[in-house]
Amino acid sequence: MSHYLDELSDVQREAVTCVDGPSLVIASAGSGKTRVLTYRIAHLLKLGVKPWSILALTFTNKAAREMKDRIAKIVGSVTASKLWMGTFHSIFAKILRYEAERLGYDKNFTIYDTSDSKNLIAQIIKELKLDNKVYKPVQVLSRISLAKNNLITHQAYAQNTSIIAQDVKARLGEIHRIYTLYAQRCKQASAMDFDDLLLNTNILFRDHPDALAKYQAKFQYILVDEYQDTNHAQYLIVTKLSQAHRNICVVGDDAQSIYSFRGAKIENILNFQKDYNDYRLFKLEQNYRSTQIIVNAANSLIAHNQRQIPKVAYSKNDVGERIKLMKTFTDQEEGFMVASEILNLVHQEHCEYSRIAILYRTNAQSRIFEEALRKRNIPYRIYGSLSFYQRKEIKDLLAYVRLTVNPNDDEAFRRVINYPARGIGNTTVEHLQELANRLGLSLWKAINELDQFAHVIKAPTARKLTDFRNMIAGFQKLIYTADAYDAVYAIANLSGMLNDLKSDATQEGISRLQNVEELMNGIREFIENRKEEGFEETVTLVDYLENVALLTDMDSDDDQAQSRVNVMTVHSAKGLEFDYVFLTGLEENLFPSTLNFSSVEDLEEERRLFYVALTRAAKKAYITYAQNRYRWGTPTHCIPSRFIKEIDSSYMDTPFEIDERSSDSTFNSDRFKTLGQDSIRRSGMNAQTDTKPSVVAKPTNRKLSEINPDSIDVGMQVFHAKFGEGVVEMVEGSGPNRKATVRFNVVGSKKLLLKFADLKLLE
């Protein structure tokens, strides 16, 4: 590594060696950003700059470690270890420990994690006698965090009439009191949460000019990675520290600014030239990762954004294949077609599963792909989040279903007895368990024996337990009187789960509600599939629970050595790369998501998010969308995302005309169910491992006539909408249970329940 400068392109070398004064390095996707930042620091050290006078700020500990390791290979580990390099929070925590007494903290102050903060806020809410169903600790913490990141202290918050008015409108008018008590308790405990590390560093530099001057003199060179992701608090600290020497270098890509929901401000990178009018601009425009087609397609997409720093990324790699656009009739078919294409890549292109990624906009979309991959025995891993059926809200709702079907399921009982909160605490459950153990009963049956524990479980608590038991008993009436969808929806609603989820307006809360919606969609699909298979009775909770238990059992596979398909949100994919990438769910209201934009600026961030997704691909990208998708169990017509048309068509493989009907088009639910199943068969995905696509019969030219199912007999020539022409070989049963075995010309013999088959007589 002694000739490290020889490993750089001309523009990279210039960005590395021009170390004095303010510099902005715009690094397009796959352009070697980390290498430039790393080598620039190494070059400073080679020039004789003292390592402790260099401040390098990253967003992850992993990035800091990797950069430090690379630097150590050039200048030695001893020198590299003396760098002030790390995340914003770790570096500022280090400064605050030196200066803690100035702010009234002990130098050994505690740093609260999110769990600590939520527990403290929950305690304060209880002390203030506020409704914890309204003042949810997670939601309150999110609002306090947002205030801190905008440098709004608890004193300023309590005096800001505009903020208070917004809280009152949201029925959260007491947040200022919670924030005040929370800040006071943290101070009493000499503790800071993660947001305090930023807030208090700003307060330190604001109120103690000598401390600011000290660190301005210390840090002669400042480097910031992923500058487009900085928030207001981080921006101010960096700006203040760089005022003395002005040797600041920020690296980032405005086209990859996708974290505004966390407080990131794209203006920080867009306005760099206004903050430092003598700055030097370096554009890393060569993409070393992707094919020319992928890079050019991404350029054509991002060109639609108005707020950006002009640049033209390019690639000298192979031209590559055009982006393949895949239209499916249903979201279920979308999952199956993606799985089928993955098998083709593995068997025909000899691609490792680990070099393939499925990306989607929301976590809830993972269910479709997880189920499709399982059915084809394709190994996968959910990256950056839990498998769909392991997410808390899904396990909570399924626990309610399990308890309804089997009230003696103690694990399910314990999981939901106090969710949503109904005033039954852990101590009560422990007493109930003690009673159950003494009598040899389940927790459910022990509720009927509470009079034996009246000295421990008081009357008000006993009533709450009885109310819970009565609620579950009410759910049990739905087992055989309602189909699985209606029963689960009633359970989610009457248990209070839906209201609990809907009341959380944070990004995490919205995601949890979307996951429950997706579970409901899966139940509706399960019911329709069973009907299509000729299932005669109502599809009950028992039927569904048996099916989902088999799915969730597969989530326990811990073989990390096996090559797996990567399944993740686009946000989780930032910074990663794969050979083949499937960009799924490209529909209006989903991607772009209408939940996340209400202005041109928000729409541009959604477009940047799609740009990030597209540029994860090295060899080939696929874009998929469904024409119809379930929304809370109701089939809904979808229109393709505007982003598809924004890509230059010369870079797209589009074997069909894109349907642009509006979302209020007339929708035929029966046609959705029939063609949805038919389209899955067309993709060759009949829940088996055969990779050959099945053949679908063509429409007949012969005359058709209606026929009563009771009149169908052996030898008749009939026509089926999916299987085509055939001859009845055998008839069995009577009335609504009458079945026929029909040998079709194309697909062979099929046994059909005649009341659902809708056969036509061929004349």
Q: Which residues belong to the active site?
A: 33-34, 225-226, 256, 616
Q: Are strands 565-569 and 356-360 parallel, antiparallel or unpaired?
A: parallel
Gyration radius (Cα) of the chain, Å = 31
Instruction: Give the Cβ contact number of residue 669 at 10 Å.
Output: 11
Question: To which H or E segment does residue 742 belong?
Answer: strand 739-744
- Residue 416 — φ and ψ, nearest 5°? -115, -5
Cβ proximity of 332 and 681 under 8 Å: no
Give the tokens for residue 642: 């505007």
Phi and psi at residue 415, to the nearest 5°: -70, -35
d(CA 356, CA 346): 9
Residues whose CB falls within 8 Å of the CB of residue 668, separated by 6 or more in sequence, listed in order: none
Assess contact for 252 and 228: CB atoms under 8 A. yes
Residue 681: strand, helix, or coil: helix
Report the greatest alpha carbon distance in the chain.
99
H or E segment to which residue 565 belongs: strand 565-569
Alpha helix positions (H), 533-641? 541-553, 570-573, 600-614
State the DSSP code for 288: S
Distance in angstroms (rounded) separating the CA atoms of residues 521 and 485: 8
Residue 329 CB-density burial (10 A; 0-12 exposed, 13-18 middle, 19+ buried)? buried
Give the separation between CA 149 and CA 200, rounded to whole angstroms.
11
| Spatial contact of 355 and 578, defined as CB atoms under 8 Å apart | yes
How many angstroms separate the CA atoms of 529 and 548, rounded? 14
- Structure tokens belonging to residue 31: 């352009």
CA–CA gap between residue 151 and residue 145 (Å, rounded):
10
| 170 CB-near residues (< 8 Å, 6+ apart) | 505
Q: What is the DSSP string of 79-121?
A: HHHTSEEEEHHHHHHHHHHHHGGGGT--TT-EEE-HHHHHHHH
Nearest-angstrom CA–CA distance, 697 and 642: 34
Tell me the torsion sign for CA atoms 235, 238, 243, 246: negative
Q: Residue 179 — φ and ψ, nearest 5°?
A: -60, -45
Taken as a whole, the chain contains a residue count of 763
Q: Report d(CA 336, CA 339) in Å as an integer.
A: 5
In 3-state terms, what secondary structure has residue 643?
Answer: helix
Q: Which of 456, 457, 487, 484 is nearest to 474 (CA)?
A: 487
